[in-house]
Structure 1
Amino acid sequence: MVCTTNRTAAFRLLGETYPFQSNNKLLTVYDYESEAVTAMAESAENRGAKVMSSCFSWPGMRIQSAQLRKMLATKKKKRGLFVFPHMSRMTGVRYPYLWLKFARENGWHVALDACTLGPKDMDTLGIALLQPDFIICSFFKVFGENPLGFAGLFIKKSSLEVLQTSVLARSIGIVSIIPQEEEEEEEEELSSEIVEVRSQSTGDTQEEIVFSGLDHADSLGLVIIHNRLRCITNWLVIALMKLRHPHSEKESSLVRIYGPRVKFDRGPALAFNLFDWKGEKINPALVQKLADRGSISLSCGFLQKIMFSEEYEQVKEAVLERRECEIRASGNKKRENRNLGITVVNASFGFLANFEDAYRLWAFVAKFLDADFVEKERWKYVSLNQKMIEL
């Protein structure tokens, strides 16, 4: 196991050490733009890799099975690295683990992105059956009460010899353990990761790491945690879909959800957008800012690689957005790339989430049924932040 400061550093580390010169393909399965995956793709492309991605079917955002099977079953001897997530962090779609087996049978090295798994979920993952060559994990919200932590790249022993040495890889945010007595400031910040325990028999003081997140997961049990998150997420999906503008001609929906609706196996993540009574999309960045004022944590993302069947071809132009972005190509040269996708608002629930969290989010979204809500919030912001000058 190699400890890194965050998820992005773990992905970049794998991109810098995998032998793309000989196994020159990188195939990923992400329905959204990911900073971590982009960092790995840039490293791989600079080292001669051909970067490919699976596509996803509208509107459920399921994997395009025929396309992915064709890419994995290529007749060329040189395969490469197949990076497969447990589920989409953006839309909550869960992906079948059978793709890992199919990739291995066709000569690919497999990296499992397990960052969406909660505490204790690894106990039931079945690593012996999946047999990935690499696993990327995130250990945030595990130590203490603050969201402190790190990420890790697990390397299968038999796959260790595949990786190559890299000078750049040595500087990619590897975690260093700092003794508590050397950094007094660190001691204050991490006082919730670490507690002092005084022995009654000897009187000696010892340091002990408190795994509050894992202890909480143990006290509840995996079954209760999964059932609670599934019920909370499905309730929120149903409640949001019922929000409709009262004075519009056809009582148009306030919320549009991307990905699965109510599903037994959907993950605790939701991608959506809000639309005003005229049917115009409300800027996701604005929604996020207004949510921050109410202490509601939302993020923005960009859905990509979306394919439309003939049935939905007529809505393609109305749904997709064209966004110009700058990407780094081989030789560190920058070139313009036009992406087609959808900018969305994202809400994710961790294993500590409860019904109150979901209800607060629903109540916040429901405020947009007021046609003047956004304008009122703008004026409120101006009045609270204007400068007072005495003459």
Structure 2
Amino acid sequence: MFNTAKSAYSVVFTTSFRTAYRLVANAYPFRKGSPLLVCQDNHACVRQLINSAVNLGAQPILAPLGENDLCMTESNLKPLLKRRFFHRSGSLVVYPAQSNITGIRHSLEWILRAQKFNWQVLLDVSTFLPTSQLDLSHYQPDFVVGSFENMVEYPSGMGYVLVKRSSFCVSVYRFPEADSTITLIPKAPEWRGEDYHIVCEDESPPLLLFASINFGLQHLQTLGLGLIDQRVKVLVHWIVHNLKSLRHEDEFWHLVNVYSPFTEKNRGNIISFNVLENSGEHVKPTLVKKLAAKYRIALGVATCINPGVANLLGSPKERKRNLGVFSERYSSRFTCVQVSLGPISNFEDAYRLVQFLLQFRNPEFVPTQLTKLKEQTLSVQTALRRQSI
């Protein structure tokens, strides 16, 4: 799956993706003046690292995205990596392999370039796998955080952290009345440590859960990660091409505003968009999701999972170019619809999605569907009242 060996990385199993971030945030050896470079396309969980760095006197810095293509640009990132900092502890870059809103795959070459300037790298692969391939024999970040739920479609929510042994050894501390935590011991070659650890916040996950994850990973290997990658690329290209060509009945206004890149280069498995009315206003993403469910199409709604990109896609008046976008007090009003393709997605799924969205060309489609939803809601409420009598 990762093309690496147990001798290269330790594995920490966590009860959630958020816990994976928390463990690194609490254990990383930040010191006064230590730099923490946060990319604007990071998941909202990066707030835990920012808060930990600030509490320990470290210096968080934002690496902004290009406003036109929403990619990591040479002009924005390279000068920050080359900055000289006077401190004893390491420097940490939090780098997303793929955007969880636009679906853009960011170049993994920045891992090597950051390490060339003596930065340590935390790579977020939560949406990158399993529809992309990660070669840890070539790219060797110090940490890899991800989610098994996204990889094997199993509703466990479990996450994981891979820790490079040549950078840190891992030790787990468990407390009777508090969350378990880990300790990172920098460069301790005389102590190899355990191959894997399990960190639980509440009760221990059942063994059946690990068996299910193992079965799911083996199934992915059987399908072939390369074939999954190729098929998803073809399906996403077809969907994006068709969505961008959809127009209202007057053939003047676009029907869908797509936030994912049009070209195939650097495009992942996520497509984000909003359906537009004739007036140019967005149809509420929650309504689009509800209507899609009636046609047995599973869509998501992206709200606060990526405040940095949401800030760029939202109102220009609210746009920020600093770490304020990751503040817990900041809340972007931007929302959009998301479709995420997986290992078993096929052309029928893609075709049904486009045909569903075509119905929004009819000005009467939304009002008619709203009326039906209200009638169904009233019918359910009436039935519940009768049962309670």
> Do the structures match in fold with TM over 0.5?
yes
Aligned equivalent of 2:27:
17
5+ residue gaps, structure 2: 1-10, 183-197
Structure-2 separation of matches of 1:376 and 1:291: 14
Structure-2 separation of matches of 1:304 and 1:102: 26
Which aligned pairs between 1:233-248 and structure 2 lie closer than 5 A?
233-247=236-250
Q: Describe the superposition over 1:45-100 as per-residue Cα deviations: whole angstroms up to 9, x where unpaired.
A: 33333332222223321113212111111122236210112111221211112211
Which aligned pairs between 1:263-342 and structure 2 lie closer than 5 A?
263-295=264-296, 296-301=298-303, 305=308, 320=316, 322=318, 336-337=329-330, 342=334
Residue 167 of structure 2: SS of its match in structure 1? Answer: helix
After superposition, the Cα gap between the structure-2 partners of 1:12 and 1:161, relative to the gap in structure 1 and judged at 3 Å, is same
Aligned equivalent of 2:85:
76
Give aligned-pair identity as a percent. Answer: 29
Aligned equivalent of 1:252:
253
Structure-1 separation of matches of 2:125 and 2:85: 29
Shift of 1:290: 3.0
Q: Describe the superposition over 1:24-64 as per-residue Cα deviations: whole angstroms up to 9, x where unpaired.
A: 322122436x3322333333333333332222223321113
Structure-2 separation of matches of 1:7 and 1:13: 10
After superposition, the Cα gap between the structure-2 partners of 1:221 and 1:343, relative to the gap in structure 1 and judged at 3 Å, is same
Q: Which amino acid aligns with 1:274?
A: V
Aligned equivalent of 2:116:
105
Aligned equivalent of 2:98:
87
The alignment status of 1:153 with 2:161, answered yes or no, reads: yes
Q: Which amino acid aligns with 1:108?
A: W
After superposition, the Cα gap between the structure-2 partners of 1:179 and 1:110, relative to the gap in structure 1 and judged at 3 Å, is closer
Worse-superposed segment, 295-304 or 54-63: 295-304
Structure-2 separation of matches of 1:13 and 1:65: 31
Structure-1 separation of matches of 2:59 and 2:216: 40
Question: Which of 199, 206, 219 is the matching residue for 1:174?
Answer: 199
Aligned equivalent of 1:50:
59
Q: Which amino acid aligns with 2:80?
A: M
Q: Which amino acid aligns with 2:155?
A: P
Question: Which of 328, 340, 349 is the matching residue for 2:341?
Answer: 349
The alignment status of 1:375 with 2:378, answered yes or no, reads: no
Question: RMSD of the alignment, in Å?
Answer: 3.7
Q: Which amino acid aligns with 1:355?
A: F
CA contact (8 A) 1:321 1:342 kept: no
Aligned equivalent of 1:4:
14
Q: Describe the superposition over 1:136-157 as per-residue Cα deviations: whole angstroms up to 9, x where unpaired.
A: 13222666x7433521111122
The alignment status of 1:118 with 2:129, answered yes or no, reads: yes
Aligned equivalent of 1:197:
none
Aligned equivalent of 2:139:
130
The alignment status of 1:385 with 2:381, answered yes or no, reads: no
After superposition, the Cα gap between the structure-2 partners of 1:13 and 1:375, relative to the gap in structure 1 and judged at 3 Å, is same
Q: Which amino acid aligns with 1:322?
A: E
The alignment status of 1:59 with 2:60, answered yes or no, reads: no
After superposition, the Cα gap between the structure-2 partners of 1:349 and 1:30, relative to the gap in structure 1 and judged at 3 Å, is farther
CA contact (8 A) 1:28 1:82 kept: yes
After superposition, the Cα gap between the structure-2 partners of 1:154 and 1:285, relative to the gap in structure 1 and judged at 3 Å, is same
Shift of 1:232: 0.3
After superposition, the Cα gap between the structure-2 partners of 1:24 and 1:119, relative to the gap in structure 1 and judged at 3 Å, is same
Q: Which amino acid aligns with 2:105?
A: R
After superposition, the Cα gap between the structure-2 partners of 1:356 and 1:30, relative to the gap in structure 1 and judged at 3 Å, is farther
Worse-superposed segment, 58-67 or 297-306: 297-306
After superposition, the Cα gap between the structure-2 partners of 1:226 and 1:335, relative to the gap in structure 1 and judged at 3 Å, is closer
Give TM-score, length-normalised by structure 2.
Answer: 0.76
Shift of 1:111: 0.9
Give TM-score, length-normalised by structure 1.
Answer: 0.75
Pairs aligned (count): 346
After superposition, the Cα gap between the structure-2 partners of 1:254 and 1:335, relative to the gap in structure 1 and judged at 3 Å, is closer
Structure-1 separation of matches of 2:216 and 2:260: 29
Structure-1 separation of matches of 2:338 and 2:205: 35
Residue 270 of structure 1: SS of its match in structure 2? Answer: strand
Residue 26 of structure 1: SS of its match in structure 2? Answer: strand
Q: Which amino acid aligns with 2:228?
A: I
Structure-2 separation of matches of 1:210 and 1:115: 15
Q: Describe the superposition over 1:157-192 as per-residue Cα deviations: whole angstroms up to 9, x where unpaired.
A: 232269998987626992364566xxxxxx7xx6xx
Residue 99 of structure 1: SS of its match in structure 2? Answer: helix
Aligned equivalent of 1:199:
none
Q: Describe the superposition over 1:261-314 as per-residue Cα deviations: whole angstroms up to 9, x where unpaired.
A: 13144111112112101112222233233334444232223565569xxxxxxx
CA contact (8 A) 2:131 2:229 kept: no
Structure-2 separation of matches of 1:166 and 1:159: 23
CA contact (8 A) 2:17 2:157 kept: no
After superposition, the Cα gap between the structure-2 partners of 1:293 and 1:27, relative to the gap in structure 1 and judged at 3 Å, is farther
Structure-2 separation of matches of 1:95 and 1:239: 24
